[in-house]
Structure 1
């Protein structure tokens, strides 16, 4: 298969950005994972077989699927949509020369899901990043535009009918506005960096609340010192405030100074903002829930959040609230944070059929339905339980 794991790690740890320069192949057996789908009463309502990417929309799951039961390499990837109304799946497309899908950067505007997918032909050194769209009414799948050599971990967010895309290429990072109605694209702002020297500025993630666009800006100086900033803009990229977030890694007493520097370089898997409140989660171990007051930040938690803490994925960002979970923990706790008041509420989700099941991941739609990814592996014997998906209305959980 195309080897993306090592390439991803090195890019996230050591680079500001830059283009993909090709991927090696290695041979081992790869296959889909079978998921049973259950409702809140633990009745089995369906099942899917997926290679691993699951995207929850308001009435369905978009998932990828290897065409062969087992394979030595990935060449093509099928995409399906599981409908909760019918409990059936329909095929929506096939992508040739598939390499990577950026699940953490998918966005729904109206009835269209936008997603980044990277492909690479076997005889080509550079990969190509595509912005795909899926029509959630017709189940059609098509390419919006493509960029050869673009960074596979580009990010995006929605603001009205516009997609704001962070595009990283050689020695630069652009913030692009894509009008989903007219199809027009415009570069709004550019950040420059030196790939060879590893210095300059780039955007690690972008999000929005009801009123503003918010970017995470990484800066590395000539001495390789790193700084991380939260920059808040209007829709036309007028800067409203810039807050230094570099201290978020200082909470981790288990890290030495060099590791704290590296933590700030990491790619960002979750970034949420609601007025003065914000949540930061990277692909390594740093999670930080904080509040901005008078240009500085304070933590909203008494101790540093563990690396197993996560934010529920949302294809449509909800600035009014955010759901957190603790992965691989026996008590399966989840937390609901009110974006207006900053108040926390807590609940727990247990699988009555077998309480060994633990939360591995979690997502939420705009209608208040949660999709729990549950599994278990015994640390001593290696015994596993079949992975399960639980589709549960938020209102059925007893938050207190």
Structure 2
């Protein structure tokens, strides 16, 4: 079987961390067993079971370093001191391994604190090593090395030999930990951005559904009110003026067909493939259709007079908003302004605003106009353009709706 490439082996070890820990512990066990064999001739003064105990404890420390790095560092330091006092010295590598784990899996502050504490213990362990050597108990050599006359110099040399590898292991561990935390932060950020993207998409869907519902309300309210008014007129004129009655019924049919077309346009614009519904691709009415809108209400029996002033905005969103506001206001007048002799619609355009006034002269109904979604829909549309809405009884009688919309020159 061909050996696994380094990239595949690394991915396997990252996927199965216990496998990596087992391999590291096995390599350490082989290293410690090899030093134990070397130290067997001449044999150490400590019993064999002590060496075996240190070996097994060291293997367990390496195995558990990922899950309890600080605790395993304490255990490794204790094993290192015991090994220098009477073991083979194999356990001196344990603080390096566990200190690297602390830097990788704990914060940088915790890693530095553990490094300082381990350095203090290692400095004391260096003195133990010097005293052991002076007593004629070398680690792996059959005879004791020559002892200098300056024990302080020997201690400094031993301490440096122990502290420098600890510092290197600590720095490598902190660097690996920072990289690990950086990658984890990137992953969390990606997950958060994906969640925010889904939330924004859901908000967009909800807003578009609300927009479609508002469009359907305006279309249905206008068309049904016109059809009801025409039907009542046709019923009254059926006996004495059959020609006018037939013309009114034809207008009812035409309005119904127009309404069906509007509903097909609205419902066809709502996608069913999970994407955000939109109406942008469908033709929309605008300010240029206000004359036709007023004519439809005149045919339904509402005496509408349309006054236009200024140049309409070229923005289709502004035109649609103005059209829907006038449509909703006239629909309310058709339903509630019984006995009105004149309904005036004034639309005044300027460079950055438009003013819409719809007023009728119908006598006030007992209890006022019943609440509905019409005025609420007008306010919602006006809010899109930082506009204002005033609706209520007029000073000279009747009902008045005043709407002002504002936009920037760039948008217009």
Q: TM-score range by the shorter chain?
A: under 0.3
Q: Using CA pairs under 8 Å that are at least 6 residues apart, name the structure with larger relative contact order, 1 or 2.
A: 1
> Larger strand proportion, structure 1 or 2?
1
TM-score by length of 1: 0.18
TM-score by length of 2: 0.18
